[in-house]
């Protein structure tokens, strides 16, 4: 009898331990191992998906300045507020969805970016600007924007030789300028101290006076792709200001 009673006690004790372990495993909906496993799963740590109806990396302040009619955005993502390095991405909107269609490495103002640009500060202005006119030293490569070919736009040869071809192709950024004129039109509606003649142009491998520069192939691609009917704009700035 003592042997049988001992066996019964062991079995009861074992059952109790198994019940406890089952409860800790979370299989009954408790807060045990099952919940911890879910929290550590790849799905739990996955970054939220980007909203396809917004230009990536652009916060509400500048996103709201993109005209509703715009179907092409050239986004210039500056590496930092004081950096001359940037990445330029062309986005195209179909329906309500923005998709990247091309990208290039490039440069901006040699001293970085500013939200209060002024003449000769060597910083590019943060903001959203329309793209209305193009031109250059070279013949029109098939631009959709109005294109003015002129030798008067050529970089002076007292500049470093690496800069001589900067303006072979240019697209005027509509900052403090009159739309519908050649990129080198000197008129400054907001006054000379606010600066001007800020363009997308060909890259020379380093920072600019305030413009944005990409490769010759990139400029040709933009010139033949940007379409006035799609109301193209440039959204430009360092990543922190863009995201604000």
Instruction: Report the C-alpha dihedral over residues 165, 158, 184, 214, rounded to 10 degrees.
Output: 30
Average of pLDDT values for 202-211? Answer: 98
In degrees, rounded to 5, the angle at the alpha carbon of residue 236 between the alpha carbons of residues 192 and 66 is 100
- What is this structure's pTM? 0.80
Choose between 15 and 209: higher pLDDT. Answer: 209
Measured between alpha carbons, how far is 130 from 164 in angstroms, rounded to an integer?
A: 27
Residues 6+ apart with CB under 8 A from 238: 78, 79, 80, 81, 83, 112, 113, 126
Measured between alpha carbons, how far is 108 from 87 in angstroms, rounded to an integer?
A: 9
Tokens at 60, concatenated: 């509400």
| Segment 34-71, tens digit of pLDDT | 444 444 455 545 656 789 999 999 999 999 999 999 99
Mean residue pLDDT of the chain comes to: 86
| Segment 140-153, tens digit of pLDDT | 999 999 999 999 99
Q: Which residue has the tokens 């792709």?
A: 225
């Amino acid at each position: 009898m003592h042997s049988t009673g001992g066996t019964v006690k062991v079995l009861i004790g074992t059952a109790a331990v198994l019940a406890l372990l089952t409860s800790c495993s979370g299989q009954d909906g408790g807060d045990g191992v099952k919940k911890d496993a879910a929290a550590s799963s790849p799905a739990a740590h996955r970054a939220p998906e980007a909203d396809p109806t917004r230009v990536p990396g652009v916060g509400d302040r500048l996103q709201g300045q993109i005209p509703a009619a715009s179907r092409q955005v050239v986004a210039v993502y500056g590496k930092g507020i004081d950096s001359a390095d940037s990445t330029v991405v062309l986005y195209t909107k179909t329906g309500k969805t923005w998709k990247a269609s091309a990208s290039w490495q490039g440069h901006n103002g040699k001293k970085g970016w500013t939200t209060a640009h002024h003449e000769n500060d060597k910083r590019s202005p943060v903001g959203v600007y329309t793209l209305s006119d193009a031109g250059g030293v070279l013949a029109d490569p098939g631009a959709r924007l109005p294109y003015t070919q002129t030798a008067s736009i050529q970089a002076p040869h007292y500049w470093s030789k690496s800069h001589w071809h900067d303006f072979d192709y240019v697209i005027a950024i509509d900052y403090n300028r009159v739309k519908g004129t050649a990129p080198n039109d000197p008129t400054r509606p907001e006054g000379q101290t606010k600066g001007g003649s800020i363009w997308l142009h060909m890259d020379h491998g380093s920072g600019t006076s305030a413009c944005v520069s990409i490769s010759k192939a990139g400029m040709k691609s933009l010139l033949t792709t940007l379409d006035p009917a799609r109301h193209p704009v440039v959204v430009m700035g360092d990543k922190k200001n863009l995201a604000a």
